[in-house]
Amino acid sequence: MLLVLCLLVVSAAAIYVACEYFVNGIEWCGRKLKLGATATGTVLAAFGTALPESAVTFVAVIFGKTPEARDIGVGAALGGPLVLATIAYAVVGAALWSNRRKLRRADRIIRVDHRRLARDQSWFLAIFVVKAGLGLVAFSIKPWLGIGFLLAYAAYARGEMRRIDGAPEDESLEPLKLQPRHAEPSWGWVAIQTAGSLLLIAVASRLFVGRLEDLGVLLGLPAHLIALVLSPVATELPETVNALIWVRQGKERLALANISGSMMIQATVPSSLALFATPWLFDAPLIVASGVTILAVGYLWWLFREGRVDAVRLLPAGLFYAVFALFMGWYELMR
């Protein structure tokens, strides 16, 4: 037990340090590619941090030898968006609230393109409703629909890369951590720092998830509870930490763009993999997870559509996850 706890702390610390280097490197990647802050967050940062979670689903559904192993992949494909739509947004609200004096944000308003984020939530909601609906029915051509999810993400990413939301120079950048004395770091060092930190995030995340699962077993928690409640929180830790770092720097545009882009990836790529390799049929916990995610995203869409999202109004997003966790606890007791 003590060894597991120590490894959890070490891996969590490694993830935080790696994320510090990753957000710094990915911002310079965006600057080099002449992308705006939103495109940098929704595409570059999101694609990088979503790779470990997508790999979990890929390994589980493609190489899993038992239905139970493949179910872990399906749970990851559903649990990831749930965590991002609830805990990650609540963390942004809490971070902005706690840093309001440092950032001189007495009004606690989130400074982002609200209309654009409302559109992103509506895109996600439309795709996720289809994704959830497919989990309730069975028909022969269902696996082929996975191609549609991949095409949907390709269209989203292409649109984000082509949109202009201000020059990248609008966001102040700290010097590249591997070249702190250079005002304009070289592409080579930017690539090395970004790729190296991403590799460390992936390794530390796998260690964190594995030890969290070990802790669940030691505490006697059911495998179903670990797969749907604990593991998704761990796998989405990089996005959550990235958001925390960016909000502390006053860059909530990047923070929310990273979460929004990661949600789009989680709604499409892992789902397509699971559709290709599993029946994609939901039991009660997966149905409830889908419903809670839809409600949480609907709440976020309403907030951004209103146009005045502040730190306090983001905090209730975390309550949706608490409701799901309570349901899972009750469900396991009733089994």
pLDDT, one tens digit per residue, over 274-327 is: 888 888 888 888 999 999 999 999 999 999 998 878 888 999 999 999 999 999
Q: Which residue has the higher pLDDT, 168 or 333?
A: 333
184 contacts: CB under 8 Å, gap ≥ 6: none
Task: Work out the average pLDDT over 217-244.
Answer: 77
* Half-sphere exposure for 264 (CA within 13 Å, toward CB): 29
The one-letter amino acid at 5: L
Q: Which pairs with CB-CB distance under 8 Å and at least 24 residues apart come from 275-279?
A: 275/134, 275/142, 275/143, 275/145, 275/146, 275/149, 276/61, 276/143, 276/146, 277/61, 277/62, 277/70, 277/73, 277/143, 278/61, 278/70, 278/71, 278/73, 278/74, 279/138, 279/142
Mean pLDDT for 80-96 is 91
pLDDT of 71 strictly over 80 = no
pLDDT of residue 295: 96
Stretch 5-23: mean pLDDT: 85
> Following DSSP, what letter does each residue of 132-201 receive, concatenated?
HHHTT---TTGGGHHHHHHHHHHHHHHHHHH---S-GGGS--PPPTTSTT-SS--HHHHHHHHHHHHHHH
Identify the pLDDT of residue 132. Answer: 93
At residue 85 the predicted structure's pLDDT band, cuts being 50, 70 and 90, is very high
pLDDT band at 169 (very low <50, low <70, confident <90, very high): very low
Per-range mean pLDDT, top range of 110-114, 151-155, 277-281: 151-155
Q: With CA atoms as reference, report the closest residue to 153 among 235, 278, 266, 294.
A: 266
288 close to 327: Cβ distance less than 8 angstroms: yes
Is the pTM higher than 0.75? yes
| Band (19; pLDDT cuts 50, 70, 90) | confident
Residue 97 has pLDDT above 70, yes or no: yes
pLDDT at 32: 86
For 126-140, what is the mean pLDDT?
92
